A and B are shown apart, each in its own frame.
Chain A
Amino acid sequence: MASENPRTIIIDNGSWRIRAGFSDSSRRLCFPPLISRFKDRKSNETFLYCGEDVFVDSVTKSSARRPSDQNIIVNFEAMESLLDYTFLNLGLDTQATGVATPLVIAENFHSIQYPRKRMMELLFEAYSAPSLSFEIDSLLAFFQNNGSTGLVVSCGHSFSHIIPVYDGTPLLPSAARLNWSGARAISYTADLLGLKYPSASRRMTQYQAESIFISQSFVAPDYSRAVGLLSSASTFGLISREVQIVANFPSTLEATDSISGAERAAQKTDIRGATVIEAASRGPVATAMRQRDTIISKLLSLEKNSTEANIRRHAANKARMRDIALLACDNGSSTSQKATSRNRSNKAKEEQDDLFGIDDNDWTIYQDLKSQGVVETFSADARDLVKDLEAVQNRMSGSGIDAVSFRRIKYSRTLSVFWGNESTMNNALTLNVERLRSLEPFFNPSIAGLDSAGLPELAAHLLGTEFQSISGSLAADIFVTGGCCLAGGFRSRFLNDLARLLPENEVLRVRLASDPIWDPWQGAARRNEVSEHRDWISRSDWEEGGAEYCVARTRIMNSSRK
């Protein structure tokens, strides 16, 4: 049976990684979907970096682009470059014209037509693919793990889905999408840490945020109880972790002294706000801050004075212009304001006699006014003050101190525990509640401000209402896949939360995919070997039927029985 079906190229087009390979080969590609174009000014050549090569240099890294907006492919130029990269690395260089093998594209579940249409156009027209098949990644993983009836819960990088499947048929109209995912959890973690440590020198990179998220986050079996551990001094160490970020950070000798001095002083007295501020207020930190504040207030008062001066100058100029205009009227003709009001019947004579402007030299009056007019001058005082301010700021930021770390000394209980000890100095971040908070929105989306039900509640809803008749068979196989399910505690939390929402005697089994990252790809490869009849969209379908027809066919195929 394996020899009947030709080999295919399977591309799992994920938003975290693109995984590609020949269905019968063990050699696989796995790279992040990024491209970056770099134009070398000297040689005037454009280089294209794909995948991990994008990180080779800061310029390429900063101009990296993704083909997808979340998980929907929107930038087809980038997609084309990535496909070129894929096919080149798979060794298609020596093939005849076009990609000779059928292509299987696995994507996260979505129901939008436009990207599907453009993707087919790209593959059929640019790469001359003989036939295509579009699959849903989580359903392929389900197949790979021998599932046929159950609820497929996919917690991937861009979106999370729950898809009920019965006897190999995905019941797509009843699927649900939750807008929480790995990518959102990562940026949530980065935002939380950015707010916790607001000094500008610690802007985390995407890679750092991802590493911290993957290595430190876990799912609490009971969120309240886990958070409760953090509020008690004896148990917070169970969850709190320090993460060292390797980064350039200016030395802080001068400041450390004052801070540690303050801490020593604080330790002596019973730590409360007032005493500690006093101890610290004599250090160079506090003096620097005081200097900065005085400079700022001086600048503000200077600006205020200058504004007032300007207003006065404006008014003076306006009055002057009015006088001149009146004079010009008197000079140019026999009329003046007084004359006009006196002699209304002589209107014709007045207009005739308004001879201002006939002589070219008359207009020079305006130029004179302009040169004497209001010009904003930045006084010498202000310039000096700004220079002083910059000097103080540099000293302060160079010493790694900012307002927050100064205030941190004040807090002994909650916030010092929260921030960790001396963390800013060593560029080490303390993670306590962030470890729990970023994955919690899968179960409790309102924590992140999403007005949605969590995954267990969505599953319980499906089992309780629409699929009540088959809820027994669905509940017997709740299959969780996607990168986020690898987090510690995910499965048991899901099981417990769901069990609480379902009636007592329901048999409930929650299992994880054996390899959530590669199972979709493996599933596609295995299906290639196993199934006799594979539904394909061929080139002739595309050429004769057109885009609309083909997109509709992929939708039908996705929802039909496998």
Chain B
Amino acid sequence: PKPFKNPNWKPKKERVKTLKQILSDEARAEAEAAAARQERGEPEPEFPWDESTREMYKKLGLHLPKRYPTWNDLEAGPSLHPERAGKWCDVTGLPAKYTDPKTGLRYYDSEVYAYIRGMTKEQVEGYLALRGANVVLK
């Protein structure tokens, strides 16, 4: 018995969307709305920020954007110093001085190279996937 629950409540029988789908739906809706606005010649609606927020931004001399930040807006940008990351052996994690031209794996020394030569395709792809360097063919 759940007295805290509304007895007339019927949950929506909607298919569960993934995060990706939700994001793409929102992006699409936003694009359509923007296109419709442009047709009608309406300007973009400003987000109704709170008074305290506006004052703070003004006080700090910062620009308060007209839109609320979206998922993509918030994504961090790339590093300005990618070379500082260094290259690491995919198998052992030690510094990688060499790269195998055939598989693209980075390795530390000849022993690791011999091991790489004997790897199965799944292992190679697994290691590359960890670095985001594998090619996914759908």
Q: CB within 8 Å of B: which residues of A?
A: 69-70, 72, 74-77, 80, 84, 87-88, 92-99, 110-115, 125-128, 161, 166-167, 169, 171-179, 188, 191-192, 194-195, 198, 223-224, 227-228, 230-231, 273, 403, 407, 410-411, 413-415, 418, 432-434, 436-437, 444-454, 457-458, 461, 466-467, 469-470, 552, 555-557, 559-561
Contacts and interface: CB of A to CB of B under 8 A. Distances in A.
Given A93-B1, A444-B85, A171 B62 contact: yes
9 contacts: A74-B19, A97-B4, A111-B74, A175-B74, A415-B112, A415-B115, A448-B132, A466-B62, A556-B48
B138 interface: no
Contact of A176 (B49, B65, B68, B76): B76
A560 B53 contact: yes
Contacts of A223: 86
A278 B65 CA distance: 72
B95 A125 contact: no
Contacts of B5: 84, 98, 126-127
Contacts of B109: 413-414
Contacts of B65: 173
B76 A453 contact: yes
Contacts of B121: none
B76 A173 contact: no
A192 B17 CA distance: 30
Contacts of B61: 469
Nearest to B92: A418
A472 to B, nearest CB: 13
Contact residues of B: prevailing secondary structure: loop
Contact of B79 (A97, A126, A231, A454): A454
Given A97-B6, A174-B62, A555-B68, 11 more contacts: A74-B22, A112-B71, A171-B57, A191-B126, A228-B95, A231-B95, A415-B111, A447-B88, A449-B133, A453-B77, A559-B49
Contacts of B79: 445-446, 452-454, 457
Given A173-B69, A452-B76, A560 B85 contact: no
Contacts of B130: 188, 191-192, 195, 448-449
B23 A411 contact: no
Contact of B76 (A98, A178, A466): A178
Please list the 8 inter-chain residue pairs (A to B) with the smallest Cβ-Cβ separation, ordered nearest first. A449-B132, A433-B93, A560-B50, A561-B52, A453-B79, A69-B19, A126-B9, A446-B85
A192 B115 CA distance: 16
A210 to B, nearest CB: 18
A224 B111 CA distance: 21
B15 to A, nearest CB: 10
A559 B60 contact: no
B6 A126 contact: yes
Nearest to B77: A453
B2 interface: yes
A465 B6 CA distance: 51
B102 interface: no
B20 to A, nearest CB: 8
A115 B76 contact: no
A92 B74 CA distance: 38
Contacts of B126: 191, 194-195
Given A173-B64, A453-B76, A411 B115 contact: yes
B3 A95 contact: yes
Contacts of A444: 84-86
